[in-house]
Amino acid sequence: MQSLWMLFAAFSFSLMGVGVKLASEFYTTGEIVFYRSIIGVLIMWAVLASGGVSVRTPHMPVHIKRSLFGVTSLLLWFSSITMLPLATAMTLNYMSPVWIALILGAGAALAGTRGADRKLIGAILMSFAGVLCLLQPSVGKEQLTGGLIGLISGVFTALAYVEVRQLGQLGEPEGRIVFYFSLVGAVVGLAWMLWTGPSPHTWHGAGLLLGIGVLATLGQTAMTRAYKRGNTLLTANLQYAGIVFSSIWGMLIWSDRLNALSWLGMALIIASGIATTLTRARAASDQPATPATPVESAEAEVHPEV
């Protein structure tokens, strides 16, 4: 089944999170984003060139807006990884489907096109109950900032997804969307690095940066294939395997220990994300058919790695 490529993507992204946490001992968040992004720029430029697709676009303002949302999410997520247990940071960022539902639902309500969906509201409330369970036992006062940063990263991930959806409706290929996201990430990361000063390189540190870039690219490629060739709902729900992988890495490498209430919180967030995805899919199926867009495949650069 092509959807199973999402499991490989989740595995790659979880390993990338390990790399980010380890690399944070040698580099600032901005430097990690820069090197991760510049590798993405080079790879996506080669992919576009080999496919005969130009990087020129008539929708540059939308690309910039989407990229700024995505890069902000990436900076916040990487920051939260350095401050929290890996599984906790991953779970908080995976709340993006809930934020997407809130953003789209609020927009529809303001436009008067759709009323409140009780099932969707229930899923959203479930997710916030999960956040309370997850953060209350596992995030102490000294880590409260990391928890808030992780939550906000999910909000910006959702905002980036909304812009990706618009780019998909405009007919932009996913490769071009990823290219500009990586390009803006490289520019922002370079500015951060020049402001704080570059860190000295070691073979170990350089290896971690290379691994982060390669794993991000592998994850994006696998996720794209899963969304393009597999079942969309199954693919969207298999992404939560990344939380399981991250939990395993956290326990094996950093001896992270989450108690029963923390695991309950993670389960509630995963369940609410799945419920939100199913509810939105059913709502979409009840609407008149519209031409397909490359949104699903473009989501490979929205979550979880943004």
According to the model, what pLDDT value does residue 11 have? 95
| Domains in the chain, number | 1
According to the model, what pLDDT value does residue 125 have? 80
**pLDDT confidence of 273, banded at 50, 70, 90?**
confident
Q: Residue 291 above 70 pLDDT?
A: no
**Residues 99, 162 contacting (CB under 8 angstroms):** no
Residue 210 lies in a domain: yes
Q: Residue 101 above 90 pLDDT?
A: no
Burial class (CB in 10 A: 0-12, 13-18, 19+), 235: buried
Torsion sign (Cα): 270, 306, 139, 247: positive
- Reported as type and span, the H/E element at residue 143 is none
In 3D space, the residue among 74, 22, 56 whose CA is nearest the CA of residue 216 turns out to be 74
- Reported as type and span, the H/E element at residue 188 is helix 174-196
First to last CA, the chain: 24
Torsion sign (Cα): 167, 172, 175, 176: negative
CA–CA dist 205, 285 (Å, integer): 48
CA–CA dist 298, 306 (Å, integer): 10
- % of the chain at pLDDT higher than 70: 85
Contacts of 99 (CB under 8 A, 6+ apart): 154, 155, 157, 158, 159
Question: Which 8-state DSSP code applies to residue 230?
Answer: S
Q: Which of helix, strand or coil describes residue 241?
A: helix
250: its two tokens: 């956290």
CA–CA dist 109, 249 (Å, integer): 41
Residue 183 lies in a domain: yes
Q: Which of helix, strand or coil describes residue 1?
A: coil
- Average pLDDT of the residues in 212-226: 86
Residue 279 lies in a domain: yes
CA–CA dist 129, 114 (Å, integer): 25
Contacts of 61 (CB under 8 A, 6+ apart): none
**pLDDT confidence of 191, banded at 50, 70, 90?**
very high
233: its two tokens: 């709902």
In the predicted model, what is the mean pLDDT of the chain? 84
100: its two tokens: 């997407």
Residue 89 lies in a domain: yes
Question: Which 8-state DSSP code applies to residue 53?
Answer: -
Residue 306 lies in a domain: no
Residue 259 lies in a domain: yes
Residue 289 falls in which region: left (phi positive, over 0), alpha (psi -120 to 50) or beta:
beta
Report residue 26: phi and psi, to 5°.
-115, -25
According to the model, what pLDDT value does residue 140 have? 63
According to the model, what pLDDT value does residue 185 have? 95
According to the model, what pLDDT value does residue 306 have? 59
Residue 63 lies in a domain: yes
- Average pLDDT of the residues in 12-22: 96
Q: Which of helix, strand or coil describes residue 278?
A: helix
Lowest average pLDDT, out of 40-54, 124-138, 182-196, 263-277, goes to: 124-138
- % of the chain at pLDDT higher than 90: 43
What is the torsion angle, in degrees rounded to the nearest 10, for the CA atoms of residue 198, residue 200, residue 201 and residue 205? -80
- Average pLDDT of the residues in 193-205: 95
- Average pLDDT of the residues in 199-224: 91
175 compared with 31, residue with greater pLDDT: 31
- Residue recorded with tokens 């989450």: 258
According to the model, what pLDDT value does residue 152 have? 93
**Residues 205, 23 contacting (CB under 8 angstroms):** yes
* Residues of the domain holding 117: 2-301
Q: What is the number of other CB atoms lying within 10 angstroms of the CB of residue 229?
A: 13
